[in-house]
Structure 1
Amino acid sequence: MLDVLGDNPEAVEADLIHHYPGYGRGGPLAAFWKGEITLRLLRVMVEQLPPNSATARAENGHDWQHADYATQDTVDLLALLVTQFANAHRDPKKYPNPMPLPEPGWRPGDPPPEDTAAAEEERRAKARDAYERLNSQLIPGKG
């Protein structure tokens, strides 16, 4: 029985009650314990919960749907298009350096921006220390 409910039994129970209201108070879980439905039917109900359910959010760690990813892709491509257009039509005498290309937006599974900034600062500090260590070994009077 616990295998059917998975790692997030509360989310599964809430979804079953929400998506199958015809089973009355307690939803399909109560109907299973009363012997009104089989374990197989309960398993099928759980497996067929929609992708925007609480169970899917709990398992995935986010509630992004296909449309959310498509929207973010559109935003990223539009930002790239605007930047490329601006670079193609800039006055090279007035603006000698082109605008840098924008970074893609955050998506589930990516580290949060503050973690990325901290990791980048740590990488720079290590590179700076390595540079100083090399200079102290190679340049007389620096060590």
Structure 2
Amino acid sequence: MVEGLPADGALARAAAGHHWTHADWSAAETRDLLDMLLVAFVNAHRDEKQPKVPWPEPTWRPGDPLPKDAAAVDEEKRSAARAAYDRINAQVLPPGR
């Protein structure tokens, strides 16, 4: 019974965990492609003395971390790395150092 439901219907969106339809994914892909084509065109026609324009960041899609979440994840990684470093130093270095 479920096999006949549309791929971008309400059940499929609920199972995927986001509300993006095929048209949304296609629009994001189209925007990314146009951004890359624009940058390639600008870089191909720039003055040789001018710096290259950097490649654009891809459009956000469901499943990608939000920018504020990415900063929080980076901070957690830094604090975990610092804790591991301190733990190793505590085991290796003599006390009082």
Q: Cα distance 1:86–1:119, how it changes in 2: closer, same or farther (>3 A)?
A: farther
Q: Deviations over 1:57-114 (max 9, x none)?
A: 2211112222221221110010011111111111132x2x211100111111212222
Match of 1:83 in 2: 39
1:101 paired with 2:61, answer: no
The correspondence of residues 10-89 of structure 1 with structure 2, limited to 5 A, is: 44=1, 46-89=2-45
Match of 1:113 in 2: 67
- Shift of the alpha carbon at 1:55? 2.2
| Residue type at the aligned position of 1:119 | V
Q: What is the root-mean-square deviation of aligned Cα atoms in Å?
A: 2.5
Q: What stretches of structure 1 of length at least 5 have no aligned partner? A: 1-43, 130-143
| TM-score, normalization by structure 1 | 0.46
Larger radius of gyration: 1
Q: Cα distance 1:65–1:98, how it changes in 2: closer, same or farther (>3 A)?
A: same
Of structures 1 and 2, the one with the larger relative CO (CA 8 A, separation 6+) is 2
Q: Cα distance 1:114–1:51, how it changes in 2: closer, same or farther (>3 A)?
A: same
